[in-house]
Amino acid sequence: MAVKVSSFFSHSSRDPYDEVSWKWYEAHGGPQDQVEFPTFWSGIARKITTTKYFRKAGIRENSLRQLLSRVTKVVAHEGLRQRVFASSQDAAVFERELRSLLLHQKASFNSPVWFNCGLSSVYGIEGMQTELYAWDSDTQKVRAFEHSYTRPQVSACFIQSVLASERAMQTHAELEEKIFRFGSGSGSNFSALKNSDLFRWLNILDKNAARIKSGGVARRAAKMVCLDIDHPQVLEFIRWKKNEEQKLRGIGNAGGDGSFESQAFESLSGQNSNNSVRVGEDFLQILAKKESWTLREGVTMPAERLWEEICEAAWACGDPGLQFADTIEKWNMVKLSGKIEASNPCAEFVFLNETACNLASLNLMGFYQKPGKFDFESFEKAARIFLIAQEILVDYASYPSREIALNSHRFRPLGLGYTNLAGLFMRLGIPYGSEISLRWTAEITARLHLVALETSHELARSRGAFDAFAENFGSVQEVFGLHFEEWKKFAKGSSQDEKLSKRWTILKKQIGDQGLRNSQVTLLAPTGTISLMMDCETTGIEPEYSLIRSKILSGGGTLQWINAGVGPSLQELGYDSKEINLILEHLKTEGHLEGAPGLKASHLPIFDTSLSGGNGHRSVSWKPQVELVAVAQKFLSGAISKTVNLPSNSTPREISEIYPTAAAKGLKSISVYREGSKTSQPLTPLRKR
């Protein structure tokens, strides 16, 4: 039975646009003179949307109505064409529901949807002539399309394979360039390359990435470079970015320009990728025993030496991060189809080579209810709407190669997640990393994953399970069982135990009978730009970086802002307007809340951040951060984009504790960033002069 949709977020007889107040504003930073937005969208959200997402070439968008309509019309139309919806009425209701969620900043698609979706079908813009591939439902085959927007690239995340031949690597470079050009990122494991070829190709691909402004807008190309811990050149790989960063620091110390858009920066190698070393249980066990590790080709070295090099490099420049190969494979739902070898640039999409994934994120503050409550019903209904939309996009989208198009069709991986978790905690009066915050994280993430799986099953009933479901049935059941067991541990004795456990039990049988439409459904992305679009106070699963911060924008300009949740959170804690004004004035002056007049000491932990602002001393230490991420990871198909931000006085020894703790807690990947370790960093806390 096809999907039926009823009105929940929207009114059955009114356009969502008619339910809000609109205003024309000066367009700061865009080619438009004025732009139209709802009055409740902040200046930052307006600026980000105008400069990053409004179409400028050909058709010049100047209203949020145009942007949202361009996307929602296409998704609803495609859903009807693909026979996802039971009727045209269901498609119309779905479009209103989707539009309402986007309009009210409750959720957002990944950036490539905003860049590319609907430009051809709504505006008639064909785009550049290039060969892209998409699924043809008429012939039931992948076929080529000649223009970039006929079937647009809408997935943010790609994983490409690497083969040790010159021709294969040339093709790899061409495909990677296509991926970057339309606003997406790509990751690969380069361990197949021999010693003489590894850095030659890494440098070629790095220079290619540097040339491209991703998506045709002010957006840098994003790439992930993975290397296995047993590769003969792993030591050089570990040191690569650290050594280049030292060159840049030397230029800066000599009075030169070392910013990330300077000529000096562009002259360095390795600066256009995130780097990760993939480690397995075998290496960690040898490290614990303080024994020697054997690289391919028989070379041995002390495991401790490799480990110290990794931690020293991460301390010096933020790279490399780690990916835990055995944990990733344990949770692989399609083990018989292949082994997971790499990730996308931010490490949340971990899946098979030659695949792509489109992302969407729910703004948790969009479901907050005063006083101190969370609307789980609305949250789950929004998750269902967005997972349906993401599923529709899989076969609407184009891909840079025939193989990626086919694999994306066969496996249909999706990346539904959330953002603004720390913003929600602040409003609830909960310190980040506290025991109660762990319980909130578990329930929110488990519910998201459960409703995503339920929706994927609902889609499978009418559209069929993903093509590789039957051969991977054992893996699907195994991983589902792992999620269910973690849920039972968490929920035991809680008010949610019986009701939600019953849903898990029913779903297990339903999956056995009719399968899932998607091989993956959830992950947690960093959500940097779309979080600003949604007026989120924090991004992804991260704690607030700093209550006052500035961001250097790619393409020029800066944004400086104060966390908008501080005032409302103080109000809900019982402070009156006079007290709040005094506390906020202290924050603006000092950059932190320590010693703020009238603020109770017991309330300070609620406002703790990754880095202390001004001359403050408080911050969220790394241990509760890792603990909280570990709780969320148990209820996700994919991984979590997680960077532990550390104060500038942190040491390599601390990193040597963070990485194994992350592995022991079941994280799939982890990275760190020590403040000031890079000559130019895009985000900085306010420092008192």
Confidence of residue 269 (pLDDT cuts 50, 70, 90): confident
Provide the phi-psi class of 251: left if phi over 0, else alpha when psi is between -120 and 50, else beta.
Answer: alpha
Stretch 316-324: mean pLDDT: 98
Weakest-pLDDT range from 207-221, 239-253, 289-303, 604-618: 207-221
Give me the pLDDT at residue 371, please: 85
635 has a pLDDT exceeding 60: yes
Element (H, E) at 26: strand 22-26
**Among 176, 245, 348, 354, the one annotated catalytic:** 348
Mean pLDDT of the chain: 93
Contact 579, 557 (CB under 8 A): no
Give whole-number Cα distances, 365 to 103, 387, 420, 610, in Å. 14, 19, 7, 20
Which tops the pLDDT comparison, 679 or 224?
224
Alpha helix ranges (H) inside 412-556: 421-428, 435-463, 473-491, 497-514, 528-533
Q: Tell me the helices (H) and strands (E) count for the chain, helix number first.
A: 23, 23
Weakest-pLDDT range from 231-245, 427-441, 556-570, 619-633: 556-570
Long-range contacts (CB closer than 8 Å, 24 or more residues apart) made by 436-444: 437/628, 438/627, 438/628, 438/631, 439/490, 440/374, 441/541, 441/628, 441/631, 441/632, 442/490, 442/631, 442/632, 442/634, 442/635, 443/490, 443/496, 444/364, 444/374, 444/379, 444/418
Return the closest-CA partner of residue 239 out of 250, 227, 251, 257: 227
Stretch 441-455: mean pLDDT: 98
Confidence of residue 174 (pLDDT cuts 50, 70, 90): very high
**Among 346, 354, 363, 590, the one annotated catalytic:** 346
CB count in 10 Å sphere of residue 454: 22
Amino acid at the residue 134: A
Confidence of residue 1 (pLDDT cuts 50, 70, 90): confident
Which residue's entry shows tokens 């494979």?
329
221 has a pLDDT exceeding 60: yes
Contact 124, 390 (CB under 8 A): no
Which tops the pLDDT comparison, 33 or 479?
479
Confidence of residue 215 (pLDDT cuts 50, 70, 90): very low
556 has a pLDDT exceeding 80: no
Per-residue pLDDT tens digits for 330-383: 999 999 999 999 999 999 999 999 999 999 999 999 999 988 899 999 999 999
All residues at 6 or more sequence positions from 499 whose CB lies less than 8 Å from its CB, including other chains: none
Which tops the pLDDT comparison, 245 or 424?
424
Give me the pLDDT at residue 30, please: 64
294 has a pLDDT exceeding 70: yes
Stretch 40-55: mean pLDDT: 95
Q: Which residues pair with 323 in a beta bridge?
A: 278, 669
Structure tokens at 507: 């779903």
Give me the pLDDT at residue 254, please: 65
Confidence of residue 211 (pLDDT cuts 50, 70, 90): confident
Stretch 568-594: mean pLDDT: 96
638 has a pLDDT exceeding 50: yes
Contact 88, 79 (CB under 8 A): no
495 has a pLDDT exceeding 80: no
Contact 610, 645 (CB under 8 A): yes
Confidence of residue 559 (pLDDT cuts 50, 70, 90): low
Per-residue pLDDT tens digits for 604-614: 999 999 998 88
Helix (H, G, I), strand (E, B) or coil at 152: coil
Give me the pLDDT at residue 689, please: 44
Amino acid at the residue 441: T
Distance of CA 77 to the CA centre of its chain: 27
pTM (2 d.p.): 0.95
Does 174 qualify as catalytic in the annotation?
Answer: no
Does 348 qualify as catalytic in the annotation?
Answer: yes
259 has a pLDDT exceeding 70: no
Give me the pLDDT at residue 247, please: 84
Give me the pLDDT at residue 252, please: 66
Residue 554: phi and psi, rounded to 5, are -65, 125
Give me the pLDDT at residue 79, please: 98
Does 344 qualify as catalytic in the annotation?
Answer: yes
Give me the pLDDT at residue 265, please: 66
Which tops the pLDDT comparison, 247 or 681?
247
**Among 116, 344, 363, 420, the one annotated catalytic:** 344
263 has a pLDDT exceeding 90: no
Give me the pLDDT at residue 547, please: 94
Confidence of residue 549 (pLDDT cuts 50, 70, 90): confident
Return the closest-CA partner of residue 355 out of 409, 396, 391: 409
Give me the pLDDT at residue 593, please: 97
Rg for the chain, CA atoms, rounded: 24
